[in-house]
Structure 1
């Protein structure tokens, strides 16, 4: 059973999302919130496997809420809901640590997307994935390994350092006292944020950046 928490300021949409997920045998809605300010407390109280959150909300929006949630030790994957195909905030949210996004008009994609990100993968709405990836590729990225690593959260840097020691996902989970799914999510975010192709390239980055020093 995949535990899901929902943060959405529109009560009708929030209820609709809960109803859609409630009809799935392997998904369970364990908590709901109405604002990005509530996201952190909701995650801490409910310990969801996936957080589904609207990208546009009053007070604290989905981008800042994503950044705050992803900075925590046992952060669940964050799956964002957006209304617009070309929402420019999607790219910012992905760079903040979101594991993917779903268009609100594609409710049938929500359950598959939740399953995908719960397994440590990334979900981009197929209709506009190319557009989002092109936008990400066009963003300036420093060539300095130390600057690239500095863009990771403290937990992601910790995972990267342990990854460079050759630990498996299971060993990483045991070392950090979290689930294997959480480790998969951290690694997916590390690869996504740094542009590394695989674990080997990420390990090389850990050494070239000075994060890990050969003794």
Structure 2
């Protein structure tokens, strides 16, 4: 499949005119768009649309800039622009927090961006955090399929896909995370990428806490 350019703000706003707008959101949009392959950026853009729509449907008070920045930058850790020794969410969260601090965010707002991105793939924790953190996780999850899809409705989902086409998302995302499981397996054991490694990557073997506890340095 020949790649195409990632979606633009104009395309998003043509379908979701109520999306929040600010100079900072514009800069975050361009920052992510310049650093992510088109399929991954379009996923981030749809995640933003879904998160913003969920906030509107449920009338959730939140910081719209934090939610926009967090969803747009949430997958930087899957690119070469946020490499590091940690799980991809943490690597990406660090780069995003640095970016927003450079844009003038105080420590509290930068921390919320960090938390939103670091926890976006751990919704069992994220949904109990601040509204921005919870909405980020829910928006990202909706682009894979969660109970929130029923709340969003088929029309909103179709609009998001029209604004930011999926571009072979399932296959490309699978290839992306399998590559990480192959090349940096030690960063994937506590993440959802472990599922891909165990199912699809020959030779992938995650350590087990059963063995850690059984072999611990204690007599009982």
TM-score, with structure 2 as normaliser: 0.30
Higher helix share: 2
| Bigger Rg, structure 1 or 2 | 2
